[in-house]
Amino acid sequence: MSELVARLARIRATQPDAIARALAGRRKRPLLRDAKLFLVAADHTARGVLAAGGDPRAMADRGELLTRLVEALAHPAVDGVLATADIVDDLALLGALDDKVVFGSMNRGGLAGSVFELDDRFTGYTAAAIARCGLDGGKMMLRVADGDPGTVRTMQACARAIDELGVLGLPAMIEVFASRTVDGKTTNDMGVDATIRAIAVASGLGGSSAHVWLKLPVVEDQERLLSATTLPVVLLGGDPGRDEQTRVATYAKWAQSMELPQVRGLVAGRTLLYPPDGDVRAAVDAAAAIVRTGVRA
């Protein structure tokens, strides 16, 4: 790992143009190959989220994170990655993005635990940068909280990004939550009714929904939740921690939800990259089996 970090640091210092060349030269593929999309999420750190699998600083070691990402992306069932520019650039230099779908993460300004967490400004990729780098789409997050004025600013920024991506013919993936802040702590309301309302708000953003996808949490009554939309949906993997019973329940919910007509795949990050036993390949195998079992035209 130290060799990997040293190599990347050397290239970045002496050959910064190598990143653009690596991105321009990567072999691309269609967004949907099997009517299901299986992406690994790696945009957590840019929002100040370093915890995974019960370790509060698991993702602080960039070499370790990249090593796990490269292993996951090497799995033939993994379609690609969702990440911020720093990670995408490293993966491009490592040659890990050939024949993979790459979504650039756009709004990372709502730092976890901050007083401005719900004012989720666009501090990552722009639509223009996504196109310039030859990426396949943009991802954004909208947390709908009636009691926080940051929500409407984020809604406006998301609407603008949806339109800008749409003009380029690129998909906009919106991660949607109903949220609230109590005593300075932001939490997501995972209730079906609250989330349905948030989906309705997010679905109406921008001048066209033609290229809009939703990234949604898995809840107890997923069928009722998804009755709120006709947009293509990818499931949010989340981080079940180290509790094996919780992990088994999470995988079971993925499997049940994968059968619903709106569901077109899974985006999982920490669950796959930091499993309790450290076996990234086995974690990806298990998730891939769920995604591919639900493949349909």
Listed in order, strand segments (DSSP E) in the chain are: 37-42, 80-83, 101-105, 137-144, 172-182, 185-189, 212-216, 233-236, 263-268
Residue range(s) defining the domain that contains residue 43? 2-293
Span between the terminal Cα atoms of the chain, in Å: 41
> What proportion of the chain, given as a percentage, has pLDDT over 90?
87
pLDDT of residue 246 exceeding 90: no
Q: What does pLDDT average to over the chain?
A: 94
Q: What is the pLDDT of residue 34?
A: 78
What string of DSSP letters covers 125-177? --HHHHHHTT-SEEEEEEEE-TT-THHHHHHHHHHHHHHHHHHTT--EEEEEE
pLDDT tens, residue by residue, 149-162: 999 999 999 999 99
Interatomic CA distance for residues 140 and 154, integer angstroms: 10
Per the DSSP assignment, residues forming a β-bridge with 182 are: 185
pLDDT tens, residue by residue, 55-105: 999 999 999 999 999 999 999 999 999 999 999 999 999 999 999 999 999
Nearest to 239 by CA among 223, 222, 262, 217: 217
Q: What is the pLDDT of residue 294?
A: 55
Q: What is the pLDDT of residue 2?
A: 83
Q: What is the pLDDT of residue 170?
A: 98
Interatomic CA distance for residues 177 and 199, integer angstroms: 8
pLDDT tens, residue by residue, 220-229: 899 999 999 9
CATH code where residue 170 lies: 3.20.20.70
What's at 192, amino acid-wise?
V
pLDDT of residue 187 exceeding 50: yes
Judge whether 103 and 139 are in contact, CB under 8 Å: yes
Per the DSSP assignment, residues forming a β-bridge with 181 are: 186
The residues, any chain, with a CB within 8 Å of residue 30's CB and separated by 6 or more, are none
Give the pLDDT band of residue 1 (cuts 50, 70, 90): low
Burial class (CB in 10 A: 0-12, 13-18, 19+), 230: exposed
Structure tokens at 209: 């929904």
Judge whether 158 and 173 are in contact, CB under 8 Å: no
Number of structural domains (the chain) is 1
Give the pLDDT band of residue 241 (cuts 50, 70, 90): low
The CA angle 275-138-157, to the nearest 5 degrees, is: 115
Q: What is the pLDDT of residue 53?
A: 83
131-136: average pLDDT? 98
* CB-CB neighbours of 199 under 10 Å: 25
Q: What is the pLDDT of residue 297?
A: 36
